[in-house]
Structure 1
Amino acid sequence: MDFSNTILETIGNTPLVKLNKVVAEIDALVLAKVETFNPGNSVKDRMAVKMVEDAEADGRLKPGGTIIEGTSGNTGMGLALVAIIKGYKLICVISDKQSKEKMDILRAVGAKVVVCPTDVEPTDPRSYYSVSKRLAEETPNSWYVNQYDNLSNSLAHYEQTGPEIWKQTDGKITHFVVGVGTGGTISGVGKYLKEKNPNIKIWGIDTYGSVFKKYHETGIFDENEIYSYITEGIGEDILPKNVDFSLIDGFTKVTDKDAAVYTRKIALEEAIFVGNSAGACIKGLLQLKEHFKPDDVVVVLFHDSGSRYVGKMFNDDWMRERGFLDENVTKAEDVIKDHIDKELIVVRTEELVSHAIERMRKYKISQIPVVDITGFVGSVDETDLFRSYVADKNVAEKPIKEVMGKPFPIVQLGTPIEEVSKLFTKENDAVLVDLKNGHHHIITKYDIIGAIK
């Protein structure tokens, strides 16, 4: 009989799949190492087992102990599998930019999840680096994994992933392209491949907001390069010990939008449902296409599963809110088409200011048209109300007509978006669209900004 004793024995030996449509511009054979076939659906399963087993061997992790790690989700999943099989408790510290699916999956496999803010310095006590270290100090019989500086991370890929790729390509691989986060995959695989053939090129995919590319090219750790970004799983605001820059031939940076768009393209054009970093890798490949020749064999690693991004890159509303959907917005109705059926919230002239404030809170809006029996006669926005309140603390009990401003301009269906945009001024924050059925809808500055590509 052919079976595995535990799920951990199924890690590795993931398939290499030829890519076609999504890399049609590249004049080379492009193969994807699809790591979603690991039981935890990501490449991180490999190093999770290696880090735990090495910690067990040297006594850092003792029976019945608690594993503590800061993770973007995938390492946590790999550690959760190991913890279940080997009988450990697990605490995962995760940043709030990670997908809800990742957090839910970690909880589903028994991990305690602690969520920390993304937009803080690594040294800030609220950062997920700092919280992980603090929890490890406070928790009895615990072990802090520290995948960034734990060299068992890159060693796992030197021992497993690199040899698999070499064997699967029959030693014909010429380029390895992979997203860089902790650095374990690129450094472990890169070390093995360059030992086999020093001419193999190792390319890292970085993201805007990360320090890797500039540091590799200049040796300068530029804090001005660091800012918040959306792409998950790649890029860093620190220099992990697992990133061996001497093994990396170069980096290319990919925007958040391109990473998201190409994540969807892989699913639609190759029927491979993978995550955000895979999209970044494919766009990065296309940016590097002049480096590839017809006889080259390019291997790109797909880190994780698309199931962890269903509420993000694979959600039209999420993509649209960030301007990541390439939609043709030319007329007034194009801007509001996704919420055109919603009721227009209004306030009447004789209602109190407190009623308008209540409506703004309830519907989370900043501008409200004012009406009377003749139609639109004015408008209020949160700035007007704030100024009125500063001038008179009793303004909440006054009628709207005493504080309202001019009515919003009204445009017809079919009005070009350029004409609508001209109606926004310092004094006017919204425009009404006449829907021709006795109803109107509102366009705000936020709607216009959201339509900008």
Structure 2
Amino acid sequence: MKIAKNILETIGNTPMVQLNHITKDIPATVLAKVEYFNPGHSCKDRMALKMVEDAEADGRLVPGGTIIEGTSGNTGMGLALAAVVKGYKLICVITDKQSKEKMDILRAVGAKVVVCPTDVEPTDPRSYYSVSKRLAEETPNGWYVNQYDNPSNAQANYEQTGPEIWEQTEGKITHFIVGVGTGGTISGVGKYLKEKNPNIKIWGVDTYGSVFKKYKETGIFDENEVYSYVTEGIGEDILPENVNFDVIDGFTKVTDKDAAVYCRKLALEEGLFVGMSSGSAIKGLLQLKDELGPDDIVVVLFHDSGSRYIGKIFNDDWMREKGYITNEVSTAVDLIQNHIKKPLAIVRTEELVSHAIERMRNLKISQLPVIDINGFAGSLNESDLFNAYLADANIIEKPIREIMGAAYPIVKANASIEEVSKLITKENQAVLVELENGKHHIITKYDIINAIK
């Protein structure tokens, strides 16, 4: 019988699929190495198993031990499969920017998940690097995987992914393009392919907020380039030992927005339901199209499955919140679609200033319309409050009518954005829009800025 003795034996031999639509403007033949066909639905299954087996062989991982790793989710899933089959416990340390689906999947396969903040320095004791190391030291028979510096990571791709790509293209590959995170995939595959044919170009895809591209081009680790970003699985604020810059010919950077948009394009245009880093990879390829000719055979690696991003990339509300997709915005009512269902926050002329301050603080807003029995009577914004308080600290116990400004202008729901924009000035911080039901809502500078594409 042709059977796998366990799920680990199904890792590898993922398909190569030609892209036909999203790459129509590229003169070369473009092939996708679709890694979500691995049982853990990502390229990380390969190196996870290799790291476990190598640690078993040299005694770092003992029977009944605990595997501990900082992960963006996919390596954790590969380790979880190995832990289940081989009888180990697993602790995955993950950052709070990773999708809920990744965390839920890891728990479903028996991993303990520890969540750390994203926006901290790598050396911060709260970072997932630091927490992973600490847990490994504190846990009896604990083994810290450290995929970033573990040579088995790149070796797995040298032994498996590289040869598969070479065989599937019959040695005709001319370019390999992949997103870079720990560096294991690009370095392992790149080393193998360069040994087969030194003329093959190896291109890495980086993200804004990561240090790889500038370091490759200048040798400078620029901390000013390090900031929080949305894309998962690629980019780093450190230089992992697994990133072999010698086999990488160059990098291109892709924005978070383009990564998300092109991830969805792959599903709609090619039927490939992949994750966000794959969106980065295909957009990176499109950015490099001038480097390609009609005789080139380009392989782009798609890292993981879109099933791990249902609540993010494939959720329209999340995409709109991030500004990655927008509805056509042309009128006043279009500007307030993100908060039109919320009631209009107001304050009354005879309420105390302290009441307004509390309301602004609780609702996290900067301005309030003021009403009396006849309707809108004035306005209040944080600048007015600040200046009034500097002049008289006792102002907080006085009625709002004593410091309120002029009432906000009111426009119809179909007023143009240009009309609304002209009404917002240094003296006038907002505009009220009259809705069809006779109620009103507020338009702020933020709403107009949010509509800019």
Classify the secondary structure of the residue corresponding to 2:120.
Answer: coil
Q: Structure 1 61/393 Cα, relative in aligned 2: closer, same or farther at 3 Å?
A: farther
Measured in 2, the distance between the counterparts of 1:42 and 1:444 equals: 43
Show the counterpart of 1:308. Answer: 308
Classify the secondary structure of the residue corresponding to 1:171.
Answer: coil
Residue type at the aligned position of 1:106: L
Classify the secondary structure of the residue corresponding to 2:298.
Answer: strand
Residue type at the aligned position of 2:25: E
Residue type at the aligned position of 1:424: I
Residue type at the aligned position of 1:214: K
Residue type at the aligned position of 1:49: L
Measured in 1, the distance between the counterparts of 2:2 and 2:402 equals: 81
Question: Structure 1 residue 279: deviation in Å?
Answer: 0.6
- After TM superposition, the structure 1 stretch with the greater mean CA deviation from structure 2, 189-198 or 364-373, is 364-373
Measured in 2, the distance between the counterparts of 1:141 and 1:198 equals: 43
Show the counterpart of 2:396. Answer: 395
The alignment of Structure 1 onto Structure 2 pairs a total of residues equal to 452
Question: Structure 1 residue 67: deviation in Å?
Answer: 0.8
Cα deviations by residue, 1:33-88 (Å, 9 ceiling, x for unpaired): 11111111111011000000000000001111111111111111111111111111
Measured in 2, the distance between the counterparts of 1:256 and 1:312 equals: 12
Would you say the 8 A contact 1:388–1:395 is kept in 2? no
Say what the alpha-carbon RMSD is for the aligned residues: 2.0
Mapping of 1:223-242 within 5 angstroms?
A: 223-242=223-242
Question: Structure 1 residue 367: deviation in Å?
Answer: 2.8
Mapping of 1:369-448 within 5 angstroms?
A: 369-382=369-382, 384-385=384-385, 391-392=392-393, 395=396, 398-448=398-448
Show the counterpart of 2:188. Answer: 188
Measured in 2, the distance between the counterparts of 1:318 and 1:427 equals: 34
Measured in 1, the distance between the counterparts of 2:232 and 2:163 equals: 27
Show the counterpart of 1:72. Answer: 72
Show the counterpart of 1:6. Answer: 6
Structure 2: gaps (5+ residues): none
Question: Structure 1 residue 335: deviation in Å?
Answer: 1.4
Measured in 2, the distance between the counterparts of 1:151 and 1:133 equals: 17
Classify the secondary structure of the residue corresponding to 1:21.
Answer: coil
Residue type at the aligned position of 1:370: V
Measured in 1, the distance between the counterparts of 2:90 and 2:382 equals: 46
Classify the secondary structure of the residue corresponding to 1:23.
Answer: coil
Classify the secondary structure of the residue corresponding to 1:17.
Answer: strand
- After TM superposition, the structure 1 stretch with the greater mean CA deviation from structure 2, 110-119 or 326-335, is 326-335
Show the counterpart of 1:201. Answer: 201
Question: Structure 1 residue 269: deviation in Å?
Answer: 0.9
Measured in 1, the distance between the counterparts of 2:115 and 2:383 equals: 34
Identity of aligned residues (%): 77
Measured in 1, the distance between the counterparts of 2:312 and 2:195 equals: 39
Classify the secondary structure of the residue corresponding to 2:22.
Answer: helix
Would you say the 8 A contact 2:35–2:304 is kept in 1? yes
Cα deviations by residue, 1:103-157 (Å, 9 ceiling, x for unpaired): 2221222211122222222112221111111111111210110000001000011
Residue type at the aligned position of 1:347: V
- After TM superposition, the structure 1 stretch with the greater mean CA deviation from structure 2, 224-233 or 146-155, is 224-233
Residue type at the aligned position of 2:106: L
Residue type at the aligned position of 1:408: Y
Would you say the 8 A contact 1:166–1:193 is kept in 2? yes
Show the counterpart of 1:21. Answer: 21
Show the counterpart of 2:109. Answer: 109
Structure 1: gaps (5+ residues): none
TM-score, normalising length from structure 1?
Answer: 0.94
Question: Structure 1 residue 427: deviation in Å?
Answer: 3.8
Cα deviations by residue, 1:195-245 (Å, 9 ceiling, x for unpaired): 111111111001111111111112121222222211111111111111111
Cα deviations by residue, 1:332-375 (Å, 9 ceiling, x for unpaired): 22212344344323333334556545654665544332222221
Classify the secondary structure of the residue corresponding to 1:277.
Answer: helix
Would you say the 8 A contact 1:262–1:280 is kept in 2? yes
- After TM superposition, the structure 1 stretch with the greater mean CA deviation from structure 2, 231-240 or 381-390, is 381-390
Measured in 2, the distance between the counterparts of 1:233 and 1:116 equals: 16
Q: Does 1:89 align with 2:67?
A: no
Would you say the 8 A contact 1:34–1:303 is kept in 2? yes
Question: Structure 1 residue 399: deviation in Å?
Answer: 4.1
Would you say the 8 A contact 1:322–1:450 is kept in 2? no
